[in-house]
Structure 1
Amino acid sequence: MFKRIGLFLLTNILMVATIGIVLNLLGVNGYLTAQGINYQSLLIICLVWGMGGSFISLMLSKFMVKMTMGVQIQNENGPYGDLVRKVHVIARRAGITKMPEVGVYDSPEVNAFATGPSANSSLIAVSTGLLREMNEDEVEGVLAHEVAHAANGDMVTLALVQGVVNAFVMFISRIAAFAISNALRSNDDEDRGPSPMINYMIVMVLDIVLGLLAMPIVMWFSRFREYRADSGGASYVGKDKMIRALESLKGQQDRILSGADNMATMKISGKVNFAEMFSTHPTLDKRIQALRTSR
């Protein structure tokens, strides 16, 4: 646990330091002036923080999952050589020129995920629980789904969507916070700007509220990419194997969702949450139906 916390803190320190350096190089140190908001500076700050945070996380994603989840990279001559060869065969069918890293991590849950900054720098990781519970055809369907994520560039596009949403939320919340804090000033404060502490507190509240309101946009794209990865996986190994893999996952769904869910975006399955628009994955029934009705 302490290792995970340490890596999380280190990642955030590096992210803050990197973004701070970029903003200094751009000559942007703040957006509030005596005359009010400098909208150009605010826009640059929001874009750098919003996009920068998402893409730094993406660039560190392979390293982070290896460290936090104990993913062990495999090769064709090792105990999981057949798994590595299957991934490489599917990756070639998908048009990937540099073969993905293939990893296995020890976990009873039936799970797999793809991560990495690009199709040619990706990692396909599989849990030992999945390898125990699924037969060869079902495993192949899951691998095809994850390779499709890598081939489609889903990790990059999701980071881009999240970055744009983050930047938009930051931009709007800071403009709204400035207006609200100005409106809350007493007459005695008319010659001074809004209180920095009040402005900061309002910004924090608006970041949370607007972030929650914008979340369905990111979740919609996440669900869309799952359908696309299912379709891609079916084209690589056949629709029947892809459907069997999803049906097997449906049978294991309770086990998949057991335990901590802080890696929700890496799950290969999902069930209906409080509201489906906040779910990262479509229901398995919908995914299976989409494949059965596809040509």
Structure 2
Amino acid sequence: MMRIALFLATNLAVVLVASITLRLFGIEPYLYHATGMNLQSLLVMCFVFGMVGSLISLLMSKTMAKMGAGVQIIEQPQDSQQQWLLDTVGELARDAGIKMPEVGIFPASQANAFATGWNKNDSLVAVSAGLMHSMRPEEVRAVLAHEIGHIANGDMVTLALIQGVVNTFVMFFARIVAQLISSFMARGSDNQSGGLGFMGYFIVVTVLELVFGIAASAIVAWFSRWREYRADAAGARLAGSGAMINALTALQRESELPDQMPESMTAMAITQGRTQQIMQQLLASHPPLEERIRALKEAAYRQ
């Protein structure tokens, strides 16, 4: 449940902060007129706040990743292993048609890796120390190819845009429903002011944003799972289907180990760990490893 709570907190934080800002600075009342809500203005406002928050998160993604995971960027290789890592990422980046990403290592004994960055040509690829020690070179190369595939596919930007659109509609519909509730209560009240009142409206909007946000997070998570299959396919093209399958199989053997990836970076990692409950499956950023392996084998068979 902690994974779910943190996943939702990340997705909903910008929405709740925007709501508090709108109320504290008195912006939201201007979206209403005598006949009710100005839906066009409300939608524009929700779009601006939803997209701006998501894009700010995207622009800060590399910095937050370095801080959150404790990534040590390789400026000058300290040994042959780091030199091989830089050379391999550079080769894969050239094959994928993108600029050389920053390359780093983060301290975790579990085999994992992630990619992030605000565009294809200003990105970061980081691998765990455990990945470098527990996998064969061809398997590490396949993992790196998977992460380069994320970058080449523009997954970070697309995910941020989808999250922004989702935030927009969460904010929009929460306010519409809250206003309908307030209007219904006003009709049944003898008090001329009626309705929910300032604090009541604020509380109802916040609760609705949480409820709608959970449903919206499932949509974002579905897209995240879909893009993992695309990144696996890209990894197979760059490093070979056999190497990509072997890499995922090696990760599957470690799936019983405690997850050491920071929660904020699980969506960008190559594996998320085990998911058992229905709610966890709906909000999982990655599909099960066995399904990813099956998809790669079926694609290889069709070729």
User: 27-36 vs 45-54, which deviates more?
Assistant: 27-36
Could you report, residue by residue, the CA deviation over 1:249-279 in whole angstroms, capped at 9, with x for unpaired residues? 0001122625764432133213334222321
Q: Please name the residue that 2:204 is paired with.
A: 202
1:71–1:104 CA contact under 8 A, matched in 2: yes
Following superposition, the deviation at residue 99 of structure 1 comes to 0.9
Separation in 2 of the partners of 1:47 and 1:132? 45
Q: Please name the residue that 2:84 is paired with.
A: 82
1:75–1:81 CA contact under 8 A, matched in 2: no
Could you report, residue by residue, the CA deviation over 1:172-227 in whole angstroms, capped at 9, with x for unpaired residues? 11000011122223523345664111111110111011111222211111011000
- Structure 2, unpaired ranges of 5+: 1-12
1:256–1:269 CA contact under 8 A, matched in 2: no
Following superposition, the deviation at residue 153 of structure 1 comes to 0.2
> For residues 21-100 of structure 1, what are the structure 2 equivalents within 5 Å?
30-75=30-75, 77-79=77-79, 80-96=82-98, 98-100=99-101
Q: Secondary structure at the match of 2:190?
A: helix
Q: Please name the residue that 2:296 is paired with.
A: 291
Residues 208 and 28 (structure 1), Cα distance of their counterparts in 2 relative to 1, 3 Å cut: closer
Following superposition, the deviation at residue 45 of structure 1 comes to 1.4
1:158–1:218 CA contact under 8 A, matched in 2: yes
Q: Secondary structure at the match of 1:67?
A: helix
Residues 179 and 81 (structure 1), Cα distance of their counterparts in 2 relative to 1, 3 Å cut: same
Greater relative contact order, per chain length (Cα 8 Å cut-off, separation 6+): 2
Separation in 2 of the partners of 1:277 and 1:257? 19
Letter of the 2:297 counterpart: R
Measured on the aligned residues, the alpha-carbon RMSD in Å equals 2.6
Separation in 1 of the partners of 2:110 and 2:53? 29
Letter of the 1:282 counterpart: P
Q: Secondary structure at the match of 1:116?
A: strand
- Structure 1, unpaired ranges of 5+: 1-11
1:30–1:41 CA contact under 8 A, matched in 2: no
Q: Please name the residue that 2:283 is paired with.
A: 278
Separation in 2 of the partners of 1:89 and 1:260? 28
Separation in 2 of the partners of 1:220 and 1:127? 26
% identical equivalent positions: 46
Residues 150 and 94 (structure 1), Cα distance of their counterparts in 2 relative to 1, 3 Å cut: same
Q: Secondary structure at the match of 2:110?
A: coil
Q: Secondary structure at the match of 1:50?
A: helix
Q: Secondary structure at the match of 1:165?
A: helix
Q: Please name the residue that 2:250 is paired with.
A: 248
Q: Secondary structure at the match of 2:228?
A: helix
Residue correspondences, number: 277
TM-score of the pair, normalised by structure 1:
0.86
Q: Secondary structure at the match of 1:88?
A: helix
Separation in 2 of the partners of 1:192 and 1:36? 14
Letter of the 1:164 counterpart: V
TM-score of the pair, normalised by structure 2:
0.84
Residues 259 and 121 (structure 1), Cα distance of their counterparts in 2 relative to 1, 3 Å cut: closer
Residues 259 and 112 (structure 1), Cα distance of their counterparts in 2 relative to 1, 3 Å cut: closer
